[in-house]
């Protein structure tokens, strides 16, 4: 089984990325042949400066390695170092109906947020389909917001196979529903676009400021509170075991426990969870040649598989 996922180097990674995509993807490296790429081509849709894009790509690589990615079990690489991906994207574009892309929520949401639309942003799902299909991926771990894009990839694969024969593997999404949507500091879905994130490896001072600033209702210290309606408790559920959560639930329902207390408990859980990973990241920062070697070896492996599959695809379409 080939398991594939990718992540954009579009900014500092946050706990929404970690629980929604990173942790599940790393766990699945034990379940099959894992491929994980840094989606630097996709990041071009927002036109970052060249220097910023390169730095963010390296930062993503360091973050994944610090969080437990095993380079001996996962093929880890930059998307742009596998040129066959863009070749396949053009072939798939010629089979993709405009209406299919026009129905994609992600494009409409970004435009509604004031992002200037470009063709890359509109055609994003086709390149994503190419990322998935070129390796014969069976399983694709994604956040809930990316489920529609997997459906688009499946639709394109089926269209291709109907036209040229059973060549492309039709992928399945893998979504952990219990952490599919991680709340941000303002209660909305955690997203860099909303500016409501808590970074995985932010400074201790900044992390504390963000956690203590999480928006809650105005209930007082002695008022009973509903933990299931509180974003602080929702975030604690990502870190804590059931015993800890049961203890916190009892405190929420009793007088004398305020949201400030809950936020302090969340901060302790956060720091405990990421302390060892933070230390590992510091070590990787001192050994950037190792990080680059992991990406280089990963790109060579990914390119070999992509080229093998592209030979069959080129022949099928008449090239």
Q: In what order do the strands lie in the sheet with 74-78?
A: 74-78, 33-38, 2-7, 139-141, 172-174
- What is the band of 21 on the pLDDT scale with cuts at 50, 70, 90? confident
- What is the band of 242 on the pLDDT scale with cuts at 50, 70, 90? very high
pLDDT above 70 coverage of the chain, percent: 98
Tokens of 258: 């305020």
Q: What is the pLDDT of residue 282?
A: 96
Tokens 């992390």, residue located? 207
The set of catalytic residues is 110, 189, 192
* Cα 319 from Cα 91, distance rounded (Å): 10
Q: Are 13 and 22 in contact (CB under 8 A)?
A: yes
Q: What is the pLDDT of residue 178?
A: 59
pLDDT above 90 coverage of the chain, percent: 78
Lowest mean pLDDT among 102-106, 215-219, 258-262: 102-106
Residues in the chain: 319
- Quick one: average pLDDT of 136-164? 90
Where do the domains of the chain lie? 2-181+288-317, 201-281
Tokens of 44: 């071009």
CA angle 59, 6, 139 (to 5 degrees): 145
Cα-based distances in Å from 107 to 126, 173, 195, 260: 12, 20, 19, 38
Give the mean pLDDT of the chain: 93
**Residues 6+ positions from 282 with CB-CB distance below 8 Å:** none
- pLDDT, one tens digit per residue, over 294-315 is 999 999 999 999 999 999 999 9
Top-ranked range on mean pLDDT: pick from 145-149, 175-179, 184-188, 303-307: 303-307
- Quick one: average pLDDT of 199-225? 95
- What is the band of 131 on the pLDDT scale with cuts at 50, 70, 90? very high
CA angle 55, 284, 199 (to 5 degrees): 60
Q: What is the pLDDT of residue 48?
A: 87
* Cα 309 from Cα 128, distance rounded (Å): 17
Q: 3-class DSSP state for residue 216? A: coil
Higher pLDDT, 156 or 117: 156
Burial 156-181 (b: 16+ CB within 10 A, else e): bbebbeeebeebbbbbebbbeeebeb
* Cα 305 from Cα 153, distance rounded (Å): 19
Q: Are 59 and 18 in contact (CB under 8 A)?
A: no
Q: What is the pLDDT of residue 285?
A: 96
* Cα 100 from Cα 103, distance rounded (Å): 6
Q: Is the dihedral of CA 27, 28, 33, 39 positive or negative?
A: negative
Q: What is the pLDDT of residue 142?
A: 77
Residue by residue, DSSP assigns 88-124 as HHHHHHTT--HHHHHT-HHHHHHHHTTPPP-HHHHTH
Does residue 40 carry a pLDDT above 90? Answer: yes
Q: What is the pLDDT of residue 177?
A: 67
Tokens of 150: 């997997």
- What is the band of 116 on the pLDDT scale with cuts at 50, 70, 90? confident
In terms of Cα–Cα distance, which of 111, 113, 143, 109 is closest to 128? 143
Does residue 179 carry a pLDDT above 70? Answer: no
Tokens of 227: 């933990």
Does residue 129 carry a pLDDT above 70? Answer: yes
Does residue 175 carry a pLDDT above 80? Answer: no
Question: What homologous superfamily is domain 201-281 in, according to CATH?
Answer: Tyrosyl-Transfer RNA Synthetase (1.10.240.10)
Its pTM stands at: 0.88
In terms of DSSP bridges, do strands 74-78 and 172-174 run parallel, antiparallel, or are they unpaired? Answer: unpaired
Q: Choose the CATH number for 2-181+288-317 among 3.30.360.10, 3.40.50.150, 3.40.50.620, 3.40.225.10.
A: 3.40.50.620
């Amino acid at each position: 089984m080939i398991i594939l996922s990718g992540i954009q180097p579009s900014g500092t990674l946050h706990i929404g990325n970690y629980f929604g995509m990173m942790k599940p993807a790393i766990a699945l490296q034990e379940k099959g042949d894992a491929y994980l790429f840094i989606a630097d081509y996709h990041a071009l849709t927002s036109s970052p400066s060249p220097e910023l894009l390169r730095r963010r790509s390296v930062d993503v690589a360091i973050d994944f390695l610090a969080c437990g990615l095993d380079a001996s079990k996962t093929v880890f690489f930059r998307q742009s170092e596998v040129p066959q991906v863009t070749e396949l994207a053009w072939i798939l574009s010629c089979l993709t109906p405009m209406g299919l892309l026009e129905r994609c929520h992600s494009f409409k949401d970004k435009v509604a947020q004031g992002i200037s639309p470009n063709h890359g942003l509109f055609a994003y799902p086709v390149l994503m389909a190419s990322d998935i299909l070129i390796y014969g991926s069976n399983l694709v771990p994604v956040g809930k917001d990316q489920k529609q894009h997997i459906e688009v990839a499946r639709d394109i694969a089926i269209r291709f196979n109907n036209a040229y024969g059973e060549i492309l593997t039709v992928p399945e999404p893998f979504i952990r529903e219990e952490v599919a949507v991680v709340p941000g500091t303002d209660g909305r879905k955690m997203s860099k676009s909303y500016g409501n994130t808590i970074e995985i490896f932010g400074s201790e001072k900044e992390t504390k400021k963000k956690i203590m600033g999480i928006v809650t209702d105005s209930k007082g210290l002695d008022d009973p509170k509903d933990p299931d309606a509180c974003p602080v408790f929702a975030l604690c559920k990502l870190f804590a075991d059931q015993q800890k959560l049961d203890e916190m639930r009892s405190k929420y329902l009793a007088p004398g426990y305020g949201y400030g207390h809950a936020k302090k408990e969340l901060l302790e859980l956060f720091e405990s969870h990421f302390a060892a990973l933070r230390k590992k990241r510091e070590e990787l920062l001192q050994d950037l040649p190792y990080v680059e070697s992991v990406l280089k070896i990963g790109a060579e492996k990914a390119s070999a598989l992509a080229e093998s599959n592209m030979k069959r695809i080129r022949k099928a379409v008449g090239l």
